[in-house]
Each structure stands twice: as structure tokens, then as C-alpha cells.
Amino acid sequence: MSVALRDIGVTLAGRVVLDGISARLEEPRVGIVGRNGSGKTTLARVIAGLIAPDAGQARIGGADMAADRRAALASVGIIFQNPDHQIIFPTVLEEIAFGLTQQGQRPHQAEAAARAMLDRFGKAHWAPAATHSLSQGQKQLLCLMAVLAMRPRVIVMDEPFSGLDIPTRLQLMRYLDGIAAQVVMVTHDPAQLRGFDRILWLEGGRLVADGPPDAVLPRFETQMRDWGGLDDLAHLAG
């Protein structure tokens, strides 16, 4: 299983957001770094098939994720930055079971599988809980369980830990370590990419570096600190 990006270009509202991105991602843990507005969130959406690129193609296991939504359901899951944008249902059990019925399971099967997933994380007692009453970290874990239950081969995560306190973040990262699926994580924080196998660095919608973390992350951090000395908050986008 691999994510194949070929010459991806995306233009949103007349602005070029991604331009000529090509990469073949086969490593189990891939990080995508870049500043706010570098296009990394858009790239995450392209990989998950939520946006069809204006140019090029994004394929997972040979299938075009934007065109073949059924193949996408079996191959790729995405976790958004804000769990409130992801949770659709009023109770935990419904939220996890939904993706499974979407994959064609009968409701009772889906419910059993959802309970099994909760059990695996030692959260069986969460089943009837109101999703609204969960803490931010708990909501993010629920999103992770809901995606894992669908057994995707690739999980795309878009800044999944921002806004969480350090213990919660560490706990979630530990859960992540135990996952067999390929993880593609988008972040602006190099500290979250410890133990990753490959890093893509995006700037202005273009790939500026691509390689093992030791080669990419130190350069990235130096550059971020240099830019931190400037005042470019003054520029308005578009």
C-alpha cells in the first residue's frame, strides 16, 4: 500500500495553494510540515480524496481517492484538527458505528464492532456517553477510534494534537504508536514527529524538502526561527 502523488496542483478561489507536488509515500510514518498557509492542510484533504486536485493525481493502492469514494472508504481515514468538525452523532457508539454502516455492515454488526473498538482502548463505558460532554482530548480519541474501526490502510491526520495539553498529547501519541496503518501527519510542530520515517516540507504550496527527519527537521526548525525574527504578519493573503 502506498500513497502516490503525481504533480498535484490545487487552486482555491484564484489562489494557487498547491503546485507540482510529487511523492510516493511508502514509509509507515510520514510527516508533512510547513507554516500556516503553506498548503499542508489542503494536501491532507487531497490525499484523503476530499478535494479533487485541479492538476495531477492522488492515488492510494492504485485507486483515485477523489473519484472512487467507495475505494476511499476502505483505504483512507482522516482526522481533522478540530474534533467538533468531525463528530456527527450525539452518542459515542453511534459515532463509531456510522462509518461501519457506511462500509456496508448491518447495524447490529456495526454496533458490535464499535463496542469491540471501545473495548480495545479500555473505553467500553463510553458507549452511551454524549459526544458533546467529552473533553477535547477525549473527542480526539473518539475520532481516532471511529477512523480505526473502519480499518483504513492509511490514516491522514491534520494537526490532531493542537490545543491539547501535554499529557493528553503524549497519551494520544502513544495510542498512535500502536497503530498498524500508515500514518500521514500534518503539523507545524517538529516535536510531534519523533520516530517518523520521512518528512515532507511544504512552503507556498511547493515541496521544498523531502527526506528522513534528521535531514529535513533541523533545517526546518532553523528556518522557522529565522522567520520568527521577522514581522510578516503584516502581509494579507490573496
Partner 1 sequence: MISLTSPVETWAHRIPAGVKLLALSALTVALFLTDRPGVLALALLAILALYLSAGLAFAGQGLRHLRMLWPFLLLIALWHGLTGQAQAGAAIALRLLAALALANFVTMTTRLTDMIAVLTWLLAPLRRLGLPTRTIELAIAMVLRFTPMLVENGQRLALSWRARSRKRPGWRIVVPMAALALDDADHVAEALRARGGILNDIPDGRD
Site for partner 1 in 52-81 (CB under 8 A): 69-70, 72-73, 77-78, 80
By CB under 8 A, residue 101 contacts partner 1? yes
Q: In angstroms, what is the minimal distance from the CB of 16 to partner 1?
A: 21
Q: Give the distance, in angstroms, between the CA of residue 189 and the centroid of all CA atoms in the same chain.
A: 14
Q: Which amino acid is at 177?
A: D
Task: Quote the least distance from Cβ 90 to partner 1, whole Å.
Answer: 4
Options 103-111, 161-169, 170-178, 221-229: segment touching partner 1 (CB under 8 A): 103-111
Contact call for residue 159 and partner 1 (CB under 8 A): no
Can residue 132 be called a binding residue for partner 1 (CB under 8 A)?
yes
CB of 118 to partner 1, least distance (A): 18
Alpha-carbon torsion angle 127, 121, 104, 75, nearest 10: 140
Indicate whether 150 belongs to the interface with partner 1 (CB under 8 A).
yes
Q: Which amino acid is at 23?
A: A
The torsion angle over the Cα atoms of residues 39, 12, 10 and 14, rounded to 10 degrees, is -120
Residue 12 is a binding residue for partner 1 (CB under 8 A): no
Total residues interacting with partner 1, rule: CB under 8 A: 33
Query: Is residue 103 near partner 1 by the rule CB under 8 A?
Result: yes
Q: What is the distance between the alpha carbons of residues 125 and 107, in angstroms, rounded to a whole number?
A: 20
**Closer CB to partner 1, residue 133 or residue 225?**
133
The three three-digit cell numbers of residue 91, written as one number? 452518542
Measured between alpha carbons, how far is residue 107 from residues 45, 69, 90, 93, 112 in Å? Answer: 29, 21, 17, 11, 9
Using the minimum distance from each CB to partner 1, give the nearer residue, 153 or 219. 153
Query: Of the ranges 20-28, 54-62, 82-90, 171-179, which one interacts with partner 1 (CB under 8 A)?
Result: 82-90
Candidates 48, 93, 141, 145; binder of partner 1 (CB under 8 A) is: 48
Question: Alpha-carbon distance 162 to 79, whole Å?
Answer: 12
24 vs 70, beta carbon nearer partner 1: 70
- The residues pairing with 202 across neighbouring beta strands, listed in sequence order, are 207
In the complex, least distance from residue 73 CB atom to partner 1, rounded to whole angstroms: 5
Q: Say which residues have a Cβ less than 8 Å from residue 43's Cβ, sequence separation at least 6.
A: 8, 18, 21, 32, 186, 202
Residue 95 and residue 150 in contact, taking contact as beta carbons nearer than 8 Å = no
Please state the closest distance from residue 238 (CB atom) to partner 1, in A. Answer: 18
Counting Cβ atoms within 10 Å, is residue 164 exposed (0-12), middle (13-18) or buried (19+)?
middle
Would you tell me which residues interact with partner 1 (CB under 8 A)?
A: 45, 48, 50, 69-70, 72-73, 77-78, 80, 82, 84-90, 94, 98-99, 101-108, 130-132, 150
